């Protein structure tokens, strides 16, 4: 007979003992962390660098579904989506704070799984957990993470710096996370109708990893620095390529031309899209949650950028009066529209 898993009720420990238990494995790695967990505030000494701060909120039932999202993966992803914003500023993340709201559905061991994923991300990206908060909740699980990073003032990249004739570049490939989500949602519906049915996930490891355990753009930032390339504008792709391109165009007061056949799409994404009867480019343009980096570079850096592994040149920046358009292989121009994730769209 299987032994029952030990479950400790959160109320047995109380807030501060819970924090101590969850954060005990974390050690500081950065000299900029002067004071971490244990006081009213964390103290960070940036050594004259620019410090950047970002925060993100994840709500159960809105941003994640625990039917198919392992808590350890969720903890990892919750950190990564914040670090992605830091890298999109061309900065290096160094600290995070984590705040959670938890219902009685979760035991201490559940939260330890969540924090194991948080720790894995902290170790992989060399960031310190320096504080946070916990609270009870009536609505499942809520996670709020703040990430702090630093960079020299000359290295910070904003969304508003794109110039006419700049090349539009993207890292990795797009649409995989969206198709991974569609696969998980389909198998959830099958399971709900027949709990004896095993999920059909074989052969789609890549797109599942992209939605459940994405990675931030550290590799891309390091590669650009090695080549001496500083983007003129940059953003991470959390809400879909179309939406992010329009953010850069709006903030830079520019237009763009993006070529459909140049948008990088993985074979598994294409295969899954075909299975669903979805045009793969729609997943790439509007799917979101890829957390790749979209950026512009001067045309004078064309030869350099072509040597950076994993980077695709997908278009160029134009005058604002020319608008923002997608160019098809038949040279038709289709106006770009923001159809990606919107947190406040009505169901």
Average pLDDT over residues 296-311: 97
The pLDDT, as a whole number, for residue 3 is: 60
User: Does residue 178 contact residue 255 with C-beta atoms inside 8 Å?
Assistant: no
Q: Work out the pLDDT band at 275, boundaries 50, 70, 90.
A: very high
Q: How far apart are CA 42 and CA 102, in angstroms?
A: 23
Q: Is 244 exposed, middle or buried (0-12, 13-18, 19+ CB in 10 A)?
A: buried
The pLDDT, as a whole number, for residue 40 is: 64
Instruction: Read off the pLDDT of residues 185-233 as tens digits, 9 standing for 90 and up.
Output: 999 988 888 777 777 888 899 999 999 999 999 999 999 999 999 999 9
The pLDDT, as a whole number, for residue 346 is: 43
Q: Work out the pLDDT band at 93, boundaries 50, 70, 90.
A: very high
Q: Which has the higher per-residue pLDDT, 42 or 161?
A: 161
Count of CA atoms in the C-beta half-sphere (13 A) of 16: 3
Query: Do 14-155 and 167-335 agree at the fold level?
Result: no
- Residue 184 pLDDT more than 70? yes
- Residue 347 pLDDT more than 50? no
The pLDDT, as a whole number, for residue 264 is: 98
What would the two tokens of residue 199 be?
Answer: 């999920």
Average pLDDT over residues 92-113: 95
Q: Which has the higher per-residue pLDDT, 42 or 114?
A: 114
Instruction: Read off the pLDDT of residues 131-156 as tens digits, 9 standing for 90 and up.
Output: 999 999 988 999 999 999 988 888 99
Q: Work out the pLDDT band at 4, boundaries 50, 70, 90.
A: low
The pLDDT, as a whole number, for residue 41 is: 67
- Is the domain spanning 14-155 CATH 3.20.20.70? The answer is no
| Domains of the chain by residue range | 14-155, 167-335
Q: What is the DSSP secondary structure assignment for residue 3, as one 8-state letter?
A: P
- % of the chain at pLDDT higher than 90: 75
- Weakest-pLDDT range from 137-151, 282-296, 328-342: 328-342
- Residue 124 pLDDT more than 70? yes
The pLDDT, as a whole number, for residue 58 is: 93
- Residue 285 pLDDT more than 70? yes
At the top level of CATH, the class of 167-335 is: alpha beta
Instruction: Read off the pLDDT of residues 242-251 as tens digits, 9 standing for 90 and up.
Output: 999 999 999 9
Give the predicted TM-score (pTM) of the model.
0.90
User: What is the signed CA dihedral for 101, 102, 107, 110, rounded to 10 degrees?
Assistant: -60
The pLDDT, as a whole number, for residue 227 is: 96
Contacts of 35 (CB under 8 A, 6+ apart): 41, 42, 43, 130
Q: How far apart are CA 258 and CA 260, in angstroms?
A: 6
């Amino acid at each position: 007979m299987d032994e029952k898993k030990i479950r400790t009720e959160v109320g047995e420990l109380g807030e501060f003992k819970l924090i101590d238990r969850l954060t005990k494995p974390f050690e500081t790695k950065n000299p900029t962390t002067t004071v971490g967990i244990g006081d009213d505030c964390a103290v960070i000494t940036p050594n004259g660098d620019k410090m950047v701060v970002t925060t993100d909120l994840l709500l159960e039932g809105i941003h994640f579904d625990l039917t198919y999202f392992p808590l350890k993966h969720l903890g990892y992803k919750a950190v990564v989506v914040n670090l992605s914003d830091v890298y999109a500023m061309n900065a290096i993340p160094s600290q995070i704070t984590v705040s959670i709201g938890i219902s009685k559905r979760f035991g201490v061991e559940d939260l330890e799984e969540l924090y194991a994923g948080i720790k894995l991300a902290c170790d992989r990206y060399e960031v310190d957990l320096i504080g946070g908060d916990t609270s009870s909740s009536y609505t499942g699980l809520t996670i709020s993470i703040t990430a702090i990073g630093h960079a020299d003032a000359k290295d910070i990249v904003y969304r508003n710096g794109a110039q006419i004739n700049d090349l539009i570049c993207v890292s990795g490939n797009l649409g995989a996370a969206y198709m991974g989500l569609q696969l998980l949602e389909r198998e959830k519906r099958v399971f709900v109708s027949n709990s004896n049915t095993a999920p059909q996930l074989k052969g789609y490891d890549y797109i599942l990893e992209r939605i459940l355990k994405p990675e931030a753009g550290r590799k891309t930032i390091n590669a650009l620095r090695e080549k001496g390339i500083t983007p003129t504008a940059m953003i991470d792709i959390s809400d879909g390529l179309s939406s992010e391109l329009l953010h850069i165009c709006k903030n830079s007061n520019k237009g763009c031309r993006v070529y459909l056949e140049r948008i990088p799409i993985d074979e598994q994404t294409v295969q899954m899209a075909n299975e669903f009867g979805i045009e793969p480019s729609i997943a790439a343009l509007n799917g979101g949650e890829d957390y790749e980096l979209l950026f512009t570079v001067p045309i004078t850096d064309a030869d350099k950028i072509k040597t950076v592994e994993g980077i695709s040149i997908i278009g160029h920046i134009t005058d604002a009066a020319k608008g923002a358009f997608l160019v098809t292989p038949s040279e038709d121009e289709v106006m770009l529209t923001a159809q990606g994730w919107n947190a406040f769209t009505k169901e």
